[in-house]
Amino acid sequence: MDKVERPLGPLVVDISGTTLTDEEASLLQHPLVGMVILFTRNYKNPEQLRSLTHEIHSLRNPPLLIGVDHEGGRIQRFREGFTKIPSMKSLGKLYDKDPVRATSLTSACGLVMASELRACGVDLTFAPCLDLDYGQSNIIGNRAFHRNPRVVAILAQSLIAGMSQAGMANCGKHFPGHGYTSADSHLELPEDKRDLSLIRSNDEIPYSALGSLLTSVMPAHVTYSKVDVSPAGFSSKWLQDELRNRLGYDGLIFSDDLSMKGAAVVGELTARVNAALNAGCDMVLLCNDPEGVKTVLKNQRWIRTKTFDQRINRLQPRGKFLSLDALVLTENYRHCVELINIFNQEVFDQETNGGI
């Protein structure tokens, strides 16, 4: 299929398998599409992934962005052929014992994670997770660095620094905080009944501390009932009044996946897209609903702005990526992998001997 000259649009969509179908290739050339998000089902090995991302990038100029949820711990979509990234919670526990080692190791995780993804043609991973570890959210769980928001900010900054060394942007999530509620927004709409003052003095601190270091932010499919009846990703009070105006954030805002049950309160998929964009999201994720995506592409109207183009341009990877073969020859990468492997073994030994 011939490459088309077309600026990127606001929709983030997925694909079904390890290669593109003709129908998917045609869909990805639609003006409203701006990014492809990959899942475990799209991966066999690094060579196959590199071929797939090359095929996607070859469809358009500028190339479509390619993203993935690849945070470490249990949220690591690609495993065989990739370094095992420890959970963020294990890094937070290390910080309590040895802050210097923890920050250094977290930076190493960011560099290795981003370098390996870029070597396979993936442009962005939706990390870091900035949620606080209140010990009551199964969906967040060990994805959170720590209960202390200042420790979260410190370790997130280290992860971002490592990612930046590899030329990758970042995405802080899930604003203003998903860690306090126990419900899983993939299955239902969680409700957080805390006052705004409590959220500001706890969950929002990492966003405030990181500021312009965050190239993108993803809000939570959570209703904060004392602030707004709408979930954060559909709420101008959260996205405009709080995130943009009070915190001064000017980067790109992604919605979380609009096919999740936590988004169903807004209506069918096109209504969810409209509500998210109108509330202040710049890009919206539409996953695991190919027929819904077709409907949105048919019905959606969207006006491009200079601000949108500036924000999405900040997500573009910087510099040339190294192939995996070239990457393993670099001393810094090998050193970082060694640090991670040593720590993974320590965690395994401690868990085997009765827990950390």
**Residue 321 DSSP label:** P
* Strand pairing category for 75-76 and 70-72: antiparallel
Q: Which of 69, 131, 256, 257 is catalytic?
A: 256
* Residue 186 known to be catalytic: yes
Whether residue 71 contacts residue 88, with contact meaning beta carbons closer than 8 Å, is answered with yes
Tokens linked to 284: 């919206």
Distances (CA, A) of 239 to 109, 192, 234, 277, 303: 30, 17, 8, 11, 19
Tokens linked to 54: 């090359």
C-alpha torsion angle, residues 165, 166, 171, 173 (rounded to 10): -80
Among candidate residues 316, 322, 347, 349, the one with its CA nearest the CA of residue 67: 316
* Residue 221 known to be catalytic: no
Amino acid at 219: P
- Please name the residue that has the structure tokens 């919670």: 89
Three-class SS state of 266: helix
Residues in the chain: 356
d(C-alpha 325, C-alpha 249), whole Å: 38
Q: Which of 184, 186, 241, 250 is catalytic?
A: 186
| Crossing angle of the two packed helices 290-299 and 269-279, in degrees rounded to 10 | 60
Amino acid at 306: K
d(C-alpha 236, C-alpha 240), whole Å: 5
* Strand pairing category for 216-219 and 252-257: parallel
Q: How many CB atoms lie within 10 A of CB 196?
A: 16
**Catalytic site residues?**
186, 256
